[in-house]
Amino acid sequence: MFLSREEVRAIDRRAIEELGIPGLVLMENAGRGTAELLRRLGINGPVVICCGKGNNGGDGLVIARHLDNWQFPVQVLLFTRAEELTGDAATAYQSIARSQLPVVAYGEAALDEKELQNQLASADWIVDALFGTGLKGPVRPPYDRVIGAINACRAHVLAVDIPSGLDCDTGEPLGPAVRAHYTATFVAPKKGFENPAAKAWTGKVYVLDIGVSSALASAATRSCS
């Protein structure tokens, strides 16, 4: 089963409305599962997590909290103002803020590319949590430069659900796209991953369970067909 953008949204909606699983629980499951995958893959130095303002960024914030709890060195780079976070992502941010986990926010000033490169230079791992499956159009500034900086690093790169800048349905880049060594995707692979060319961006794909039953996932895909 490969999921389209529309099917991903339908699964999330039905999990919340029909199964009664709060969106924050889905985010927590996704973030913890990804953090556990990182630990299995091996962490030998700092982990830098690049977060956008949507739920994909919220997943990244959850990952950061769990890695910090497990005593791994973590740095969060937040590419929006904290006040612009909403919903579950805002709740995830409050949790790490209260834990005094280090966060560098780039939302209040123009992006300093040299500073960003310095932040990324020492990373053993970079986690791409900028954009999720909902992205439809080309990545806009300054995110295009953030993606360029990630791709220029020698660190291992893990994408959360889908590499930022890759179209969920076609597997083609929407302009600049993160080239990940690994992708932790949720519930099922995304439709675009069927495109052989997508592997250049996804790297090795791991499918993680976030607590959504296979029956609900199948029903949601049928309802979208």
Q: 163-206, pLDDT tens digit by residue?
A: 999 999 999 999 999 999 999 999 999 999 999 999 999 999 99
Chain position carrying tokens 């990373």: 123
**pLDDT at residue 220 tops 70:** no
The domain 5-224: what is its CATH number?
3.40.50.10260
**pLDDT at residue 158 tops 60:** yes
Instruction: Place 110 in a pLDDT band, splitting at 50, 70 and 90.
Output: low
> How many residues are there in the chain?
225
The percent of residues in the chain predicted with pLDDT above 70, rounded, is 96
In the chain, DSSP finds a helix count (H) and a strand count (E) of: 8, 7
Average pLDDT over residues 116-143: 94
Cis amide prior to 141 (ω within 30 degrees): no
Residue type, 213: S
pLDDT of amino acid 200? 97
Report which of 220, 211, 188 is spatially closest to residue 14, judged by C-alpha positions: 220
Q: State the chain's mean pLDDT as an integer.
A: 93
